[in-house]
A and B are shown apart, each in its own frame.
Chain A
Amino acid sequence: MPELSGYLRQDGRKGIRNIVVVAYLVECAHHVAAEITLPLRENGVHLVGFPGCYPNAYAHRMMENISTHPNVGAVLLVSLGCESFARQELAETIAASGRPVETLVIQENGGTRSTIENGRSWVKDVRAQLDTQERVPMGVEELVFGAICGGSDATSGLTANPAIGNVFDILVEQGATCIFEETGELIGCEQHLARRCVTPELGDEVVASIDKARKCYETLGHGSFANGNAEGELTTQEEKSMGAYAKSGFGPLHGLIKPGDLPPGGGLYLLDVVPDGEVRFGFPNIVDNAEIGELIACGCHLILFSTGRGSVVGSAVSPVIKICGNPQTYEKLSDDMDLNAGAILTDNLTLPEVGKQLLALAHETVNGTPTRSEGLCHQEFILTYKSFEPLGPSCLPGF
Chain B
Amino acid sequence: MTSHLAVLRIHPSDNICVALHPMEAGTEIDCGSIQFVLTQDIRLGAKLALMPMSAGATILKFGEPIGTLTEDVELGGYVHTHNLKSEYVHHA
Structural contact, A237 and B81, CB atoms closer than 8 A: no
A40 contacts chain B at the CB level, 8 A cutoff: no
Query: Per-residue CB proximity of B29-49 to A under 8 Å, as 1/0?
Result: 000000000000001111100
Structural contact, A238 and B20, CB atoms closer than 8 A: no
Of the candidates A214, A242, A308, A348, the one whose C-beta lies within 8 Å of that of B89 is A214
Give the chain A neighbours of B85 by CB distance below 8 A. 236
Minimum C-beta distance from A330 to chain B (A) = 12
Query: Per-residue CB proximity of B80-92 to A under 8 Å, as 1/0?
Result: 1100111111011
Given contacts A233-B47, A237-B86, contact A348 B18 (CB under 8 A): no
A278 contacts chain B at the CB level, 8 A cutoff: no
Give the chain B neighbours of A59 by CB distance below 8 A. none
Structural contact, B43 and A233, CB atoms closer than 8 A: yes
Of the candidates B10, B44, B64, B88, the one whose C-beta lies within 8 Å of that of A237 is B88
A188 contacts chain B at the CB level, 8 A cutoff: yes
Interface of B is mostly: loop
Of the candidates A218, A235, A345, the one whose C-beta lies within 8 Å of that of B3 is A345
B8 contacts chain A at the CB level, 8 A cutoff: yes
Structural contact, B44 and A328, CB atoms closer than 8 A: yes
Residue in chain A with minimal CB distance to B11: A242
Of the candidates B3, B45, B91, the one whose C-beta lies within 8 Å of that of A346 is B3
Interface of A is mostly: loop
A389 contacts chain B at the CB level, 8 A cutoff: no
Structural contact, B80 and A188, CB atoms closer than 8 A: no
Residue in chain A with minimal CB distance to B21: A345
B25 contacts chain A at the CB level, 8 A cutoff: no
Structural contact, B88 and A188, CB atoms closer than 8 A: yes
Structural contact, B45 and A155, CB atoms closer than 8 A: yes
How many residues of chain B get a CB closer than 8 Å to chain A's CBs?
33
A355 contacts chain B at the CB level, 8 A cutoff: no
Structural contact, A237 and B3, CB atoms closer than 8 A: no
Structural contact, B44 and A187, CB atoms closer than 8 A: no
Structural contact, B84 and A235, CB atoms closer than 8 A: yes
Give the chain B neighbours of A327 by CB distance below 8 A. 44
Structural contact, B81 and A230, CB atoms closer than 8 A: yes
Give the chain B neighbours of A217 by CB distance below 8 A. 89
Give the chain B neighbours of A267 by CB distance below 8 A. none
Give the chain B neighbours of A189 by CB distance below 8 A. 64
Interface residues of B in 49-92 (CB under 8 A from A): 61-62, 64-67, 79-81, 84-89, 91-92
User: Counting chain B CB atoms within 10 Å of each CB, which of A188, A234, A346 scores highest?
Assistant: A188
Of the candidates B4, B10, B18, B64, the one whose C-beta lies within 8 Å of that of A238 is B64
Minimum C-beta distance from B87 to chain A (A) = 7
A81 contacts chain B at the CB level, 8 A cutoff: no
Structural contact, A236 and B44, CB atoms closer than 8 A: no
Rounded to whole angstroms, the CA-CA distance of A232 and B18 in the bound complex is: 12
Structural contact, A236 and B88, CB atoms closer than 8 A: yes
A385 contacts chain B at the CB level, 8 A cutoff: no
A259 contacts chain B at the CB level, 8 A cutoff: no
Give the chain A neighbours of B18 by CB distance below 8 A. 154, 158, 233
Rounded to whole angstroms, the CA-CA distance of A327 and B2 in the bound complex is: 11
Structural contact, A230 and B88, CB atoms closer than 8 A: no
Give the chain A neighbours of B4 by CB distance below 8 A. 348
Query: Per-residue CB proximity of A315-340 to B under 8 Å, as 1/0?
Result: 00000000000111000000000000
Question: What 3 pairs between A and B have smallest CB-CB spacing?
Answer: A154-B45, A233-B45, A236-B86
Can you name 10 A-B pairs with beta carbons within 8 Å? A157-B62, A188-B65, A214-B89, A223-B91, A225-B91, A230-B80, A236-B85, A242-B64, A326-B44, A327-B44
List the interface of chain B (C-beta within 8 A of A). 1-4, 8, 10, 18-22, 43-47, 61-62, 64-67, 79-81, 84-89, 91-92
List the interface of chain A (C-beta within 8 A of B). 153-155, 157-158, 187-189, 192, 214, 217-218, 221-223, 225, 230, 232-239, 242-243, 308, 326-328, 345-348
Question: What 20 additional pairs, Cβ within 8 angstroms, besides A192-B64, A236-B86, A238-B86?
Answer: A154-B46, A158-B18, A187-B88, A222-B91, A223-B88, A223-B91, A233-B43, A233-B46, A233-B80, A237-B88, A238-B66, A238-B88, A239-B61, A239-B67, A242-B64, A243-B62, A328-B44, A346-B2, A346-B3, A347-B1
